[in-house]
Structure 1
């Protein structure tokens, strides 16, 4: 009797590590590639899209997969490091199948695909789509209404038609545990139509985090497809410097319309940033560093830097200023580094711990000087102060890197390593 191979649901494969036979990690699964077939045959699984350490996405044929089990994928060890490019006859299972609305063959009832099961053919390395996990009625994975059931691949129809208004809840659910940069990378490799659908399904804060990690062209495309009120909400949720960079790429009338829809305080911060030259300290800075008054204690400072929404660079120091304590502040007094906060008692006033050697930069400081300053003093952030002594913001090392790297750095392999090239 032929043994039955185990069934795997593709949502469980998203982000799963891929190992070679020696136990070295090759990368992580980001999607699966299938091909629809005629003649009543189930869709064939061609391979996996694997993101390697250098963030390059490569194609891993299923013929080179020797095991899919226990939260990992094992390969033969010989992989093609050529960048994956989707062909016209190929379909991305996570990106294009999940949340797709199809119909049951028997009843013509509309269902939404929540997950897809794949199975390896006995005694072969070929894989096929085996079953679909679906929900009856309209709606995706976040809907509670409607019966769910698992059906054979042949029990549904509609994959040959162009899908309009496809949902994205199930695909978004597979992104839940990914970092914003990884979600951004996944979005970048989707079709523009699918990218817009996924962006619409993300909440404002999550979409803001993801937009900050996307190339400018993708940012402009996505923000342009959102309703204006929501686009303004997302811009408010972004870091002011990233929102300013995005708005500067838009036509003048669109930029002004969105700024008008934003909250006045948020819009004022963004307008102020846009008034500086792009490659200067003023154009690079964020207007939301951690600011404390001189009568604050170490305990107060530690409570502020513990906030989960702070980046590591911003949490590495606090800036002590006289009131008001929002940028532009009262007189800037100095900086207290995180390590110093850990060494002193909780009741100590931060004003007694100031780093008096750290000279702030004026907003017109060019990028080259900012870079040299951070490198010379081994800093991850530097304060920006105007002529009156008010703190305007802080330049962090990640913002400097964004402007030093090539424009296409998010899409480029910086490892300099090439694997064995083999045709698919």
Structure 2
């Protein structure tokens, strides 16, 4: 494949890259230079203002959250698991038989009905919900964090053997159901997707254009105001949070990793060994049967899809380019004039403050954690590495001729299709891209 492909495609790629390089390189240089001169001081300004305001608030939130919420989550998961698992199994089986035609009907009707509702919701939602979220996060932080800690500990002791049992029983029961679903799904759903995309394109494009235009005019000054006020308030809170979090949480993480390692390692080894003996011949059978059944279906899909969808994509790009390009140019120009000096200021102030904090954290972390990592990797190597070597050797003996056969048959069938696609793509699409970039360059350079 590589040799034949190389002989055919190389001169085409060389021609494309050469022509592209001669034309586009001076354009990129000019754009980067002009962008650098204007935008850098804005970024620095934004980071500086943000740092002073927001950091101490985040620190306070994380601390209060940790004390309250963790034990509640642990209790919820334990009781939930005992009650809900057999219900989920029953629901999935009955759900599949009942719900599939309902989803098809829902998506079609949903599309016609819901789009104008979402537009209205987002506008009203923004004005109403922002102060509510701020209040919720503050109260939530004080209450929920200690509940999480308790949950993870109790969850670990209770749930592991249940997961092992679930995976084994799930595999025996669900595999033929998935095979049936994929086969029936393919025959039923493909023409529906094609129809949806076509109808969606005709209906939705002018709505998106209107939304972006109206959104830009309304939301930009709001975002600018939010970022400025957010910066002044929140940054010192972040600094306090990271410092307090580091002092409190580091020994907890070390204890969790150590206890987890002692308990879980032999269980993982047993699972991998038993899994390998049981599952390998099943995977081989699946790949072989899947290959025989699905390959002609994929070839048919790609061929039919290519004939049908290519002119639609070309039309979409052309119409989109004619309509949307001047809007994007206007947005970027106005954004550039306003935002660049703010970004520059933010980066500068942020750099001076945060670098010393990171250095201190990394140094303390290194002194404490390095011997733990060394011990873990050494024991991992002695115990697990020879198992992986054995698995890969047996896998190689069995699977290699299957892969060779698959690639050979694939190459004979698919290569002329790829050659045709690239040739038609080059003849049809490349001059469109060249025209777009030329026009873009002439418009943007001004």
CA radius of gyration, larger in = 2
* TM-score, reference length from structure 1: 0.18
Write 1 or 2 for the structure with the bigger share of helix: 2
Give the TM-score taking structure 2 as reference length: 0.17
- From the two aligned structures, give the one with the greater strand fraction: 1
Higher relative contact order, structure no. (Cα contacts within 8 Å, ≥ 6 residues apart):
2
